[in-house]
Amino acid sequence: MTTAMVTAPTETQAGAPRRSLAGRLVDRLGGGAVQVVMVLLGIFWLVPTLGLLVVSMRTSQVNSAEGWWTVFTKPAELTISNYANLLGSGFTASFWNTVLITVPTTVLVIGIAAMAAYAFAWMDFPGRDTAFLVVVGLLIVPIQIALIPVASLYGAADMFGSIAGVVLFHVAFGLPFAIFLLRNFFVGIPSSLLEAARMDGASEWKIFASVVFPLGKPAIASLGIFQFLWVWNDMLIALVFADTGNQPMTKYLQSQMRQFGSNVDILSSGAFLSLIIPLVLFFAFQRYFVQGMMAGSVK
């Protein structure tokens, strides 16, 4: 009597799916190769920014005659005179106008939207759902539709061309998206935390300031970065509602494009300076930004 040999089923025989060729290659290459590829892609992505920096540090005559990549063989052509000339012109005033427009707009949008989002998420009042649907509906209203009516309103209120008028326009059109984003984040906060605070006698304002707002920092930081960048880089609203004395950087740089071939040094240096503040802001709040982007992915 012979004994049958019993063999253990292989992974394929057991019905487990086989790894794809790409998956096996990734496993063999390991994380190091993937990181090298990502670094190379990042360097390739930064090439236009490097070219902008080089162009901003060369004279217009050199930029017209040669490509920016020749700087590697002619580093002596680099100079900071373009930045010195730019800072001595109207660019400095336009920079501060941009700050005066962007910072109040971002603060007002975050403050108003956070309070409204808390009300829509955790407070019961008549017409709450209808009001929130109206806010969501405002997301599809294009800015161009409101330019002429708001311009007429500003003219009647003697606000046309002022920084306050630009700020109010940005706040009005930034609130719908901000309220929608923060409300959806605040809804995910455990209700037990709010109930515990109410049992301790905390008011709605105390609950918002001590519980909801701290827990909502990732979403609020993400919203703040997006709102800051939208207003900082805006040119349409500035062209319509800001006069020459209150023009931000985008409008000032646009006014220098009448003869692009002769002032590329001004445009490039101004564009590179306009990148500094957004980059500092992003890296300062990068941790909160990543948390806000990942907040709704896992519940």
Say if pTM beats, i.e. exceeds, 0.75: yes
Task: Decide: 175 and 113 in contact? Cβ < 8 Å.
Answer: yes
Where are the domains positioned within the chain? 25-78, 89-296
CA 64 to chain centre: 34
The CATH number of the structural domain formed by 89-296 is 1.10.3720.10
Question: What is the pLDDT tens value at each position of the chain, 299 positions in all?
Answer: 444 444 555 544 555 456 666 556 556 555 667 778 878 888 888 888 888 888 888 887 787 788 888 888 888 888 888 888 888 778 889 999 999 999 999 999 999 999 999 999 888 888 888 999 999 898 888 888 889 999 999 989 888 889 999 999 999 999 999 999 999 889 888 888 888 888 888 888 888 888 888 888 888 988 998 899 999 999 999 999 988 888 999 888 888 775 445 577 778 888 888 888 888 887 777 776 666 555 544 44
